[in-house]
Structure 1
Amino acid sequence: MTLETVDFKSTGYFSDLICDYLSKKEALSSFYNRYPDVNAFKAQIEEKEGFTDSHRKVLSEQLSDQYTHLETSGATLSNIAALAKPNTYTITTGHQLNLFTGPLYFLYKIVSVINLCKTLKEAYPQHHFVPVYWMATEDHDFEEINFFNFNGKKFQWQGPEDETQGGAVGRMSTHHLEEVAALFTAELGPGKFAEELRDLFKEAYLKHPDLTSATRFLANALFAGQGLVIVDGDDPGLKREFIPYIKEDLLKNTAYHQVQGAIEKLQALPANYNVQVNPREINLFYLEKGSRDRIIFDGDYFGLAEGTRKWSESSLMEEVESHPERFSPNVLLRPLYQEVILPNLCYIGGGGELAYWLELRDFFEASEVPMPMLLLRDSVLMITSKQKGKLDRLHVSVNQLFTDRHALINRKVREISDIPIDFSPEREHLIEQFKRLYELAEKTDKSFLNAVKAQEVKQIKGLNKLEKRLLKAQKRKLEDHVERLTALHNELFPNGSLQERSSNFSQWYHQYGSGFIELLLQNLDPLDARFKVITV
């Protein structure tokens, strides 16, 4: 196995906002609490020391309830119990309930969290650090999560026929996943690790009644040995801790005002960053069986955007007190919910997640809740030894891999061509010739000067066209080389995107079993802010 690294900016797949954050650009310093490095965690721990014992007790008890019917490791049970103690803190990531984990980066998120906890334990042995995966059980974007890819094929779940798909996905029944299981099993074929994957899928989705319990089982099966604690925020006991903030959002629209102000400051910066998420006046949904509808206020009454419910202020406050579990935070309010119920020090997420977290500092301050440090998760390109051999024979380096495919092919054709495909000397010679003509033109009228300029432009354009035609001709001549490079690049960057956003962990588990996860645990380090390329 070999590990190589590439700067995130050099990959071309990360926004200017995230690259500037990683570069610690001064202009962004007011949008986050403190930048994550090992030494900075000392101040973060001190700031989070105010997390109350009562909150810890509720968290530990509710998690114990959530794990009642799940067989897990001693390490995880120990971590759940430790959350009740004042010297214990969490490192958290979150993700949707994608079918069979969805894209590869699901694993990279969790491994990043686990490995950071290990690093912090070495640096601060007097404290305990718990890796947490927050399941996005209340999301309702079913089409985003109902599939995974394996062997270039898409395995898609149509969803239960007896329920609507508009409600919280975590509550959805896992009925009718037998067909997906059968198709996946057939594609896996024989083999030890194929059997493990088959059993893992069937155990998770055919023996658990809903998507929440299935996902918890699956993540636990993969990472319980590392003490991973899996949190379901769709929990009445945890939601009760969030009641004051639910009321604040409904009555004072604090998130809207604070985040809108932060967005205006962000947009005023010279870099002209794109806004990831815009706030609403009310950032809560109302959860019922089969539905998750936005709550709105029309000036007189609160109601649902779908028009199915209506409350006065007093009746809505009674509803919040009686049934906090019915109030679901949106993408901007959920970070506050996490930090209210977790003794959390750092949130690890992808570039898109960190982009909207960077809108939240003023909101956290107004809510008097410490904002966690923000750390970009590890990103990885996995390469087989066979693929690496092909790259070597094509003389393509790791850094060159991240070049746009069209530009990469043009570059390699120029390199291996037996004739030069660069007319730069001819262009320079032409420009020198026209200098003499410009000197003559300066001594006569303007019309001749314009004619010289037009002729220069025409001839340079002609050279450019000839250069492109020569390149095209050489591509045809070197067609085999071009086809091999195109096919290999498409294997590593499916549809021109990062591998981690398309491939499923089963692609690698099928070959290496749990050794694949061990390899990630040994090599990933989110504090090393570089893109990892692993050849196995």
Structure 2
Amino acid sequence: MPTHSIPYKNTGYFSKLMCDYLNENSSLHSFYNRFPALENFKPQFEEKRSQLSLAQRRTLAKRIMLQYGDNNISQGTLSNIDLLYEPDTFTVTTGHQLNLFTGPLYFLYKIFSTINLAEKLNKEYPQHYFVPIYWMATEDHDFEEINYFNLFGSKVEWQRDASGAVGELSTEGLKKVKEQLKKKLGAGKNAAKLISYFAEAYQNNTNLADATRHLANSMFWEYGLVIVDGNDQELKKAFIPYAEKELTENLSFKEVTETTKKLTDLGFSEQVHPREINLFYLKENLRERIIEQEDRFYVNETEISFSKEEILKELHEYPERFSPNALLRPLYQEVILPNLCYIGGGGELAYWFQLKDYFEKLEVPFPILLLRNSAVLVPKTASEKLKKLHVKIDDLFLPQYDLITKHTRSISKIDIDFSKQKKHLEKQFKDLYQLAKKTDASFLGAVGAQEKKQLNGLDNLEKRLLKAQKRNLSEELDQVRNIQNQLFPNQSLQERQLNFSEFYLEYGEDLLDFLKENLDPLDLNFTVLAL
């Protein structure tokens, strides 16, 4: 089975908003800046060029270098960090939570989408430089979303009490997770490499942010990826004017609420609900919402409170204590990076669509939005079975009942389709209706009732025949069902369920090279990758 693409709308796994966006539906034009086509990046970087001063660029590059600490850095990454000093350097960015051992498989797709787009832009616009950025979501506080990954159908979980920003969590307890992982992976060269990745990241670093940086830096060593932690006092200084507007004017709430209403009026869902203040207060073991009541600012679930003057003083003296939520994080990112494009999943891009008017109000260039690559990896054995069974990979995207029904009809030696009989019946009743019109309304009703009864009878017979054929053909149907369960675990996309280590165990570093080579960020279709 060759590698090929499927339109997202044909998969059944993507929202109407994303499918309409990819089809450039005119109703959505006002919710984004430029569509992700190669030729649209030139006006985008011309718009973005003047936003960051040389001083801001110097601060950004210096802080990133400091964040890497004692990590070894590849020449490609060092060169890309140095390029951030230059006024003709721009970034393309993806963001992701600090999921344990990368979490779901699509983490790799996000990163390679970003790396490959930067490479495409460097070829297309050689007078400029384009740097791939992974923005670590170190300030998130939902530990239950990141403390596990799935392996061979069960969870590998980090159990501990947690509070505050996850990036600041100590890596205590992860040695036990490593031992659990070691047992699951077994022996072998690739298993040893996976254990090495895990141990070097989580046992040689004291907090989760540093461990995640170490892991991503190691895995994408040769591709020039630059990793950024926004939880940085110096970087947050550039965000002070915007945070001040948030505290004193509730600007995001007003603008985002209006934009969201426009989206919902078009029939799309609200992805993130704006609050009056979209900032958290951040200190050790604490990340809680800031709430204004009667001209006083309170930190939710604590005794901490400020007057207006006090909270603005706190902001200017300790900007690192103010953490943007999901709606303001995109603004913070765009304020400190020379960014052209944000690459994310459907859910992420959905809340970016709520932000366009807010960015315009603040006169901050709105980035190009690109849906990250999505893919299903099909092992050779599965490809061979599908070929033998004459099942198309596209059919595996169907709900399982529909898949099994379709395959039953295709392989049954008995025709299960009663359409001809129904048409014949309808023709007979058409003549009866003509006869009934010459009598009275009660007879006409009786004819209609009889037609409905007999058509229902044919439907029931067809269903019973289908059910009988499914029993007769159960051995082959079980094979089809098993392949779908393998490639779409829990009737979900593989990329949302499995961890990369299941595939790395078999393919090793070749897996990363394979993904790098075969994921095209500007091919706006779902990708099927035959391993």
Task: Tell whether the structures are fold-level matches, with TM greater than 0.5.
Answer: yes
CA distance in 2, matches of 1:327, 1:177: 29
CA distance in 2, matches of 1:282, 1:263: 16
Residues 1:451 and 2:446 aligned together: yes
Query: What do the CA deviations read for 1:455-477 (whole angstroms, capped 9, x no partner)?
Result: 11111111111111111111111
Q: Are 2:218 and 1:221 equivalent residues in the alignment?
A: yes
Question: What residue in structure 2 maps to residue 286 of structure 1?
Answer: 281
Aligned to 1:73: 74
Name the CA distance, whole Å, in 1 between partners of 2:401 and 2:226: 44
CA distance in 2 between partners of 1:176 and 1:513 (Å): 27
Cα drift, residue 53 of structure 1 = 1.1
SS of structure 1 residue aligned to 2:172: coil
**Offset, 1:77:** 1.3
- Supply the AA of the counterpart residue of 2:6: V
Counterpart of 2:190 (choices 190, 193, 196) is: 193
Instruction: Kindly state the Cα deviation for residue 67 of structure 1 after the two structures are TM-superposed.
Output: 1.0
Counterpart of 2:412 (choices 405, 414, 417) is: 417
Residues paired across the two proteins, number: 530
Query: 1:32-62: CA deviations, max 9, x gaps?
Result: 0111111111100100111211210110111
Q: 2: CA distance between counterparts of 1:280 and 1:216? A: 31
Q: CA deviation at 1:289?
A: 1.6
In structure 2, C-alpha distance between the alignment counterparts of 1:303 and 1:313, rounded to whole Å: 11
Whole-angstrom distance in 1 between the partners of 2:177 and 2:458 = 56
Q: CA RMSD in A?
A: 1.0
Q: Deviations over 1:317-374 (max 9, x none)?
A: 0100111111110000000000000000000001111111111110111111101000
Quote the residue 1:431 is aligned against.
426
Look up the match of 1:4: 4
CA spacing shift, 1:179–1:307, aligned 2, 3 Å: closer
Aligned equivalents of 1:393 and 1:150: distance in 2? 29
Amino acid at match of 1:172: L
Q: In structure 2, what residue type is equivalent to 1:222?
A: M
CA–CA distance in structure 1, aligned partners of residues 181 and 87 of structure 2: 45
Q: Alignment partner for residue 398 of structure 1, among 393, 410, 416?
A: 393
1:334-353 matched pairs, under 5 angstroms: 334-353=329-348
Residues 213-362 of structure 1 correspond to what in structure 2 (within 5 A)? 213-269=210-266, 272-362=267-357
Any gaps of 5 or more consecutive residues in structure 2? none
| Distance in 1 between residues matched to 2:357 and 2:523, nearest whole Å | 28
- In the alignment, the residues of structure 2 paired with residue 387 and residue 150 of structure 1 have an alpha-carbon distance, to the nearest angstrom, of 19
Where in structure 1 are there 5+ consecutive unaligned residues?
A: none
TM-score after normalising by structure 1: 0.97
For 2:253, the aligned partner's letter is: Y
Deviation at 1:483, TM superposition (A): 1.1
- Partner Cα separation in structure 2 for residue 391 and residue 103 of structure 1: 25
Amino acid across the alignment from 2:22: L
1:135 alignment partner AA = M
Match of 1:468 in 2: 463
Counterpart Cα distance in 1 of 2:260 and 2:436 = 55
Pairwise CA distance, 1:307: 4.2
- In structure 2, C-alpha distance between the alignment counterparts of 1:412 and 1:44, rounded to whole Å: 48
Q: Which residue number corresponds to residue 32 of structure 1?
A: 32
The match for 2:489 among 494, 499, 514 is 494
Taking the aligned partners of 1:441 and 1:411, their CA distance within structure 2 comes to 39
Q: 1:90 & 1:533 partners in 2: Cα distance?
A: 28
Alignment-mate amino acid for residue 425 of structure 1? K
Partners of 2:408 and 2:348 lie apart in 1 by 39
Q: Secondary structure at the match of 2:303?
A: coil
Cα distance in 2 for partners of 1:219, 1:342 equals: 20
C-alpha distance after superposition, 1:381-413 (max 9, x if no partner): 000110101111111112212122110110000
Counterpart in the other structure of 1:19: 19
Query: Could you tell me which amino acid in structure 2 is paired with residue 260 of structure 1?
Result: T
Structure 1 residue 2: deviation in Å?
A: 3.7
For residue 173 of structure 2, what is the aligned residue in structure 1?
176
Identity %: 53
SS in 2 for 1:504: coil
Cα distance between partner residues in 2 of 1:99 and 1:129: 29
TM-score, normalized by length of structure 2? 0.98
Choose from 467, 477, 480 the match for 1:485.
480
CA deviations over 1:116-164 (Å, ceiling 9, x no partner): 01100111101111100000000111111111112222101112xxxx4
AA paired with 1:178?
K
How far apart in 1 are the matches of 2:439 and 2:10?
Answer: 50
Alignment equivalent of 1:505, drawn from 500, 504, 524 = 500
Q: CA deviation at 1:305?
A: 2.2
Q: Secondary structure at the match of 2:3?
A: strand
Distance 1:284 1:454 in 2: 64
1:524 counterpart residue number? 519
| Offset from partner CA, 1:177-219 (integer Å, 9 cap, x none) | 1221111111111111111001111111122111101100000
SS at match of 2:470: helix
Could you tell me which amino acid in structure 2 is paired with residue 323 of structure 1? Y
Tell me which amino acid in the other structure corresponds to 1:465.
N
| 1:447 CA displacement | 1.3
What is the distance in 2 between the residues matched to 1:165 and 1:186?
26
- What does the per-residue CA deviation read over 1:431-478, in whole Å, with 9 as the maximum and x for residues that have no partner? 111112111211122111111111111111111111111111111111
Which amino acid in the other structure matches residue 136 of structure 1?
A
Quote how far apart the aligned CAs of 1:84 are. Answer: 1.3
Residue equivalent to 1:82: 83
1:94 is matched with which residue? 95
Structure 2 equivalent of residue 134 of structure 1 = 135
Runs of 4+ in structure 1 off by over 2 angstroms are none
